[in-house]
Amino acid sequence: MEAVIEKAMGYARTLDKALLRLHTPTLRAVFRDLLDLVEVFFRTERKGGRECPTFLRGFIYVRPNVLPDLSTAACRGPATCEPCCRLYTSSDQR
């Protein structure tokens, strides 16, 4: 478990440094090496006669074999994500 935390913290430190400097090549490298897929969901609402997107939720999928699996139910994509892994918002009906 300590090795997993240390590896994840290494990514977090590199990302933090790149964000502070806004160093685009380093940011791209961290995202390329770490992320497999990012899904973002919005709902359209009417405000003042205009349609405005409102953030609902997002899923971030880590590349396989970047961090060791902590569970056999680890999400590897939308089709394989176990119900226990899903995030719910207050607007979801369970």
The Cα 45–Cα 49 span in angstroms is 10
Which residue did the predictor score with more confidence, 93 or 14? 14
Q: Taking CA 55 as the corner, what is the angle to CA 64 and CA 8, rounded to the nearest 5 degrees?
A: 30
**Residue located via tokens 């913290």:** 9
Q: Is residue 93 part of a domain?
A: no
Structural domain that includes position 60? 2-85
The Cα 33–Cα 35 span in angstroms is 6
**Total domains present in the chain:** 1
Interval 41-90: pLDDT, tens: 999 999 889 999 999 999 988 888 877 655 544 555 555 555 545 444 44
- Residue 6: pLDDT above 60? yes
Q: Is residue 94 part of a domain?
A: no
Beta bridge partner(s), residue 39: 59
